[in-house]
Amino acid sequence: GKPLLVEGPAGVGKTELARAIAQATGSELVRLQCYEGVDEARALYEWNHAKQILRIQTGSQGGQGDWDQTKMDVFSEEFLLTRPLLTAIKRTEPTVLLIDETDKADIEIEGLLLEVLSDFAVTVPELGTIVAERRPLVVLTSNATRELSEALKRRCLFLHIDFPDPDLERRILLSRVPELPERLAEELVRIIGVLRGMQLKKLPSVAETIDWGRTVLALGMDTIDDELIAATLGVVLKHQSDQTKAAGELRLN
């Protein structure tokens, strides 16, 4: 089927969704983490130059026949370093290909993604075209820091995920930290909701809600008071300016 493009704020569980799909389908997860400057060599494949040089040095000690064989050898699959896109295409077992934070990659990479996702085939000039025997299930994620191209969007199914409502987040928290008393889980989720309503650099993610629950449990606390919130705010807010702003608005000073 078509690739699934999952968009939403950082920390809502987009990557976790891909992991859950892989687990539910018994598939191997292959992940391409996008970032500014990621290129074809990091996304698709590159040659193992050090190994090629060693092979050439060994082959050059023989005659012309050995050299001809060496030239063929150094561009064989033995010397090919497959990166996530090619790895997923070559696999014959069930595979989920996660292209994570696609919006962080340079726009030129979208052209490569379009080519690969259209035919699930990769052309390596020295080896020919490698076609997927078994197409992977593809999940792309985006934090919407920039608009992805319309051409890429057209090739995908679209799903927007926002932060969960309090009841769902409470259930997520209790499923991950089952020893946490329910009333503490409710209070933590309520405070997280208040924090997400503030103008912060980075809003608390669901994963950070879970971390906060584990922290409270580890401290053996049975109530959520201002002192505890102030002492553990760094678990959910990772910028000093956010902690200062939150402490002021929550009147923790």
Q: What is the DSSP string of 144-181?
A: -SSPPPHHHHHTSEEEE--PPPHHHHHHHHHHHSTTS-
Cα 89 to chain centroid, rounded: 18
Same-domain status, 221 and 100: no
Same-domain status, 133 and 14: yes
Longest dimension (CA), the chain: 82
Mean pLDDT across the stretch 41-55?
A: 84
Ramachandran region, residue 8 (left: φ > 0; alpha: ψ -120 to 50; beta: rest): left
Same-domain status, 32 and 139: yes
Final residue of a domain: which of 160, 188, 215?
Answer: 160
CA angle 44/7/32 to nearest 5° reads 20
Tell me if 194 is assigned to some domain.
yes
pLDDT of 63 higher than 60: no
pLDDT of 67 higher than 70: no
Mean pLDDT across the stretch 180-192?
A: 96
Reduced to 3 states, what is the DSSP secondary structure of residue 15? Answer: helix
CB 75 within 8 A of CB 46: no
pLDDT of 64 higher than 60: no
Summarised one tens digit per residue, pLDDT across range 92-109 is 999 999 999 999 998 888
Count up the domains in the chain and report the number.
2
pLDDT at residue 57, as a whole number: 78
Instruction: Band the pLDDT of 16: cuts 50, 70, 90.
Output: very high
Structure tokens at 36: 């500014």
Same-domain status, 156 and 89: yes
Mean pLDDT across the stretch 57-64?
A: 62
Reduced to 3 states, what is the DSSP secondary structure of residue 122? Answer: strand
Same-domain status, 178 and 228: yes
pLDDT over 70 percentage in the chain: 95
Mean pLDDT across the stretch 27-34?
A: 96
Same-domain status, 129 and 181: no
Same-domain status, 144 and 19: yes
pLDDT at residue 59, as a whole number: 65
Instruction: Band the pLDDT of 28: cuts 50, 70, 90.
Output: very high
Summarised one tens digit per residue, pLDDT across range 142-184 is 998 899 999 999 999 999 999 999 999 999 999 999 999 999 9
pLDDT at residue 151, as a whole number: 92
Instruction: Band the pLDDT of 231: cuts 50, 70, 90.
Output: very high
Same-domain status, 23 and 39: yes
CB 150 within 8 A of CB 158: no
State which of 80-84, 128-132, 157-161 shows the largest mean pLDDT. Answer: 157-161
Element (H, E) at 121: strand 121-124
Element (H, E) at 52: helix 49-59
User: Higher confidence at residue 158 or residue 72?
Assistant: 158
The CATH number given to whatever domain includes residue 10 is: 3.40.50.300
What number of residues does the chain have? 253
Give residue for tokens 């679209």.
158
Tell me if 101 is assigned to some domain.
yes
Of 6-20, 29-43, 45-59, 81-95, which gets the smallest average pLDDT?
A: 45-59
Same-domain status, 16 and 134: yes
Same-domain status, 194 and 219: yes
Tell me if 56 is assigned to some domain.
no
Instruction: Band the pLDDT of 124: cuts 50, 70, 90.
Output: confident
- pTM comes to 0.83
Same-domain status, 242 and 213: yes
pLDDT at residue 221, as a whole number: 87
Domain assignment of residue 236, given as a range:
166-249
Same-domain status, 96 and 185: no
Final residue of a domain: which of 128, 160, 192?
Answer: 160
Final residue of a domain: which of 120, 138, 160?
Answer: 160
